[in-house]
Amino acid sequence: MGNLISLLDGVLIGFVYGLSAMGLSLIWGVMKVINLSHGAMMALGMFFSYQAFSKLGINPYLALPGVAVFGMLIGLLIYGVAVHRVLSGPHLSSLLATFAVNMIIIGVGTAVFSTSPRNIDYSAGAVVVGDIRLPGTRLLAAAAAILFAALLYLFLYRTRSGKAIRAVANNREAAELMGIAPTRSLALSFGIGTSLAALAGGLIATFFPFTILSGGTYELKSFVICVLGGLGNPLGALLGGLILGGIEGVIPTFMPVSWVPVVEFGLFILVLVLRPGGLLGEK
Partner 1 sequence: MLAWGTIVWGGGNDATREKAFTLIMFVGLAGSLNILLGYTGYVSFGHIVFFGLGGYMGFYLLAGHGWSLPLASLAGGVFSAAIAGLLGLAVLRLRGAYFALATIGVNEAARAFVSNFEPFGGSTGMSLNFSTYQQYGGAGKALWLTFDLMVAVTAAALLASALIKNSRFGLGLLAIREDEDAAMVMGVRTPRAKTIAYMASAFFPGVIGTLYFFKNGNVEPGDAFQLNMSIELLVMVMLGGQGTVLGPLLGAVTYQGMRGYMLTSPLFKDLHLAVAGAVLLLIILFVPAGFVGWLRERFPKLRGVLE
Considering CB under 8 A, how many residues would be counted as binding partner 1? 46
Cα-only R_g, the chain:
18
198, 224, 239, 247: residue in contact with partner 1 (rule CB under 8 A)? 224
What distance lies between CA 258 and its chain's CA centroid?
23
Residue 76 sits in the site that holds partner 1 (CB under 8 A) = no
Residue 259 sits in the site that holds partner 1 (CB under 8 A) = yes
Measured from the Cβ of residue 174, the count of other Cβ atoms closer than 10 Å reads 11
3, 4, 59, 89: residue in contact with partner 1 (rule CB under 8 A)? 89
Asked whether the beta carbons of 204 and 16 are under 8 A apart, the reply is yes
Q: Is the dihedral of CA 105, 107, 110, 113 positive or negative?
A: negative
99, 113, 153, 155: residue in contact with partner 1 (rule CB under 8 A)? 99
Residue 254 sits in the site that holds partner 1 (CB under 8 A) = no
**Candidates 52-60, 91-99, 160-168, 245-253; binding stretch for partner 1 (CB under 8 A):** 91-99
Residue 93 sits in the site that holds partner 1 (CB under 8 A) = yes
Write the secondary structure of 70-97 as one string of H (helix), E (strand) and C (coil).
HHHHHHHHHHHHHHHHHCCCCHHHHHHH
CB 260 to partner 1: min, Å: 8
**Candidates 44-52, 53-61, 181-189, 266-274; binding stretch for partner 1 (CB under 8 A):** 266-274
For residues 219 and 223, give the distance between their C-alpha atoms in angstroms, rounded to a whole number: 6
156: phi then psi, degrees, rounded to nearest 5: -70, -30
Residue 154 sits in the site that holds partner 1 (CB under 8 A) = no
Write the secondary structure of 173-184 as one string of H (helix), E (strand) and C (coil).
HHHHHCCCCHHH
**Candidates 2-10, 66-74, 132-140, 255-263; binding stretch for partner 1 (CB under 8 A):** 255-263
Asked whether the beta carbons of 229 and 238 are under 8 A apart, the reply is yes
Residue 116 sits in the site that holds partner 1 (CB under 8 A) = no
Residue 108 sits in the site that holds partner 1 (CB under 8 A) = yes
102, 137, 189, 222: residue in contact with partner 1 (rule CB under 8 A)? 102
Asked whether the beta carbons of 198 and 45 are under 8 A apart, the reply is yes
What residue ranges bind partner 1 (CB under 8 A)?
28, 32, 34, 81-82, 85-86, 89-93, 95-97, 99-104, 106-108, 110-111, 216, 220, 223-224, 227, 231, 256, 258-262, 264-266, 268-269, 272-273, 276
